[in-house]
Structure 1
Amino acid sequence: MPIDTQFEFHTALPYSSMQLAQILSHCFENYIVPFVIDGETFASRFAAEDLSLNHSIIVTHQQHPVALALIARRGLHSRVAALSIRPEMRGRGLGKALMQRIMTDAHTRGDRQLSLEVIVGNQAALALYQQAGLAITRTLLGFHAPLATPQTSVDLQEIDPLALAQRMTADGERGLPWLIAPESLYKLPASPRAFTLQQQAFALVIPGAQQCQLRMIYVPPALRGQGQAHRLLQALQTQFAPLALSSNVFVPDNVAPFFQHLGWREDPLRQFEMTIAL
């Protein structure tokens, strides 16, 4: 189906965080997972993801925004941080045209890799990305800790989240999902807190009103397999009780057995990470 010539593509650079939040929420209407975001949350969330406004795209139809693609960049790796189209504009070839524009732009600026995440079960989006050449590289999962609070007297030391990111980088920890990579951890919104268990295990959490979100648990390679991560998790559960401890849907599938062995319950929501080499 040919793309409607009345669609116009613009850079997102002139738009404010408030305007972009409104467009994003508007375009995600009737999405598989309810999604609404305000301007302040938009700015803090996507800053941690290294959003590039001048490479992000707004699509208008009769001067009204009807779609957008938010592009984050780190080096020569670009990521589609969000792609949404107004419900009444779907089925008109706009998604395909937008992906073609994203791919062309990435090639033009010399990127070597393009990636994104898609919710498992969103078949229309999955088909769109596969048609563009992206392939599933892994599944990302979420977990919830048992509600029973372990009793432990282990003392945790709080550290600067930047120190955790620097340690992971120095250890050569690469290939993590974008949202839990060291480049994201130290600038996450909502006041992240980092802890260490005698420099043998590290964690980053974001305490909230209803739960404590575990964003990263890290053990240096030479110290793995000694139970340090388990002890650290127990100490976190004790410290932040009665808040329930849970991990977002960013856990790579190869790490899932660790949480399953500890009796953590898997979240029903899953994501595919998809990538293409350029």
Structure 2
Amino acid sequence: MHHDALFEFHSALPYSSVQLAQILSHCFENYIVPFVVDGETFAGRFTAEDLSLNDSIIVTHQHHPVAVALIARRGQHSRVAALSIRPEMRAKGLGKALMQRIIEAAKARGDRQLSLEVIEGNQAAQALYQQAGLSITRTLLGFHAPLATPAVAKPLQEIDPLALAQQMTAENQRGLPWLIAPESLYKLPGAPRAFTLEQQAFALVIPGAQKCQLRMIYVPPRLRGQGHARCLLQALQSQFAPLALSANVFVPEKVAPFFHHLGWREEALRQLEMAMAIGP
């Protein structure tokens, strides 16, 4: 039987954040990493990622949602922000059909690039994306800081997260992973706070109940290699102690030596960023 007879494809536009969160959690059942999200978290998280409901797809089987593909868009670059298929609906060609639709829709919109992230070790998903034409562009890592409370550090100045994003854009900081690109930083969920150490280094953090998440550390190109980032991290650790600092799995592998050098420990989980060029 042809898969299109089994499955109906719909725009995500008529669904609320609460419904989309339920569908996403439902489809991600038995996933490598436990994944459950509520409506409020969904709305906050995917707003920062520039989710396009118009371009996102819900797949139903006998009127029940069985798969979802969330598409985020910035200019002529589309990103698969999430793709999940119900366990009992896998290995029926649905993933392939969904990827085909995503790529065709991106071409029709005039997009030039499609990207996504996949957990390293998720072989089935990786194979699906490679078959669709995407290839690995880089590995993304996570780190957490040593727990030792640092010595008293220099005082930080707090700034508007938007000002940090604008400075990074003005200084042409392109090609960063989607979730730490300047376009994400100022609208992250969970009350992001940005700080600078005398305009020589900048950081954006999200203080939580258990830890303080470091989402960006930025030193203007002309000031690099002078220890400003290290001083800023010490000041942040000092300011937010006893909360430990941690950097989620968005850190490009080429930046890893900086964290290793400071004694930060690498998380076991890694992500692969994958992308494909879409011709006109």
With normalisation by structure 1, the TM-score equals 0.99
How far apart are the structure 2 equivalents of 1:216 and 1:267? 17
How far apart are the structure 2 equivalents of 1:244 and 1:182? 24
Matches within 5 A, 1:1-278: 2-3=2-3, 5-278=5-278
1:149 Cα deviation after fit = 1.1
1:152 Cα deviation after fit = 2.3
1:9-48 Cα offsets, whole Å, 9 max, x none, are 0000000000000000000000000000000110011000
1:2 Cα deviation after fit = 4.7
How far apart are the structure 1 equivalents of 2:47 and 2:209? 23
Counterpart code for 1:234 = Q
| Contact kept? 1:12, 1:55, Cα under 8 Å | yes
Aligned-partner SS, 1:257: helix
How far apart are the structure 2 equivalents of 1:122 and 1:237? 34
1:5 Cα deviation after fit = 1.3
How far apart are the structure 1 equivalents of 2:4 and 2:91? 11
How far apart are the structure 2 equivalents of 1:34 and 1:5? 31
How far apart are the structure 1 equivalents of 2:229 and 2:2? 53
1:135-180 Cα offsets, whole Å, 9 max, x none, are 0000000001011011123010000000000010010000000000
1:60-113 Cα offsets, whole Å, 9 max, x none, are 000000000000000000000000000000010000000000011001111000
Counterpart code for 1:109 = R
1:193-237 Cα offsets, whole Å, 9 max, x none, are 000000000000000000000000000000000000000000000
**Moved runs in structure 1, 4+ residues, more than 4 A?**
none
Structure 1 unaligned runs (5+)? none
Counterpart code for 2:189 = P
How far apart are the structure 2 equivalents of 1:152 and 1:226? 20
How far apart are the structure 2 equivalents of 1:88 and 1:6? 13
Aligned-partner SS, 1:33: coil
How far apart are the structure 2 equivalents of 1:146 and 1:62? 51
The count of residues paired between Structure 1 and Structure 2 equals 278
Counterpart code for 1:151 = A
Residue identity (%): 82
Counterpart code for 2:137 = T
1:229-261 Cα offsets, whole Å, 9 max, x none, are 000000000000000100000000110110011
How far apart are the structure 2 equivalents of 1:9 and 1:153? 55
Structure 2 unaligned runs (5+)? none
| Contact kept? 2:153, 2:234, Cα under 8 Å | no
Counterpart code for 1:40 = E
Aligned-partner SS, 1:174: coil
- CA RMSD of superposed structures (Å): 0.8
| Contact kept? 1:2, 1:93, Cα under 8 Å | no
How far apart are the structure 1 equivalents of 2:2 and 2:92? 8
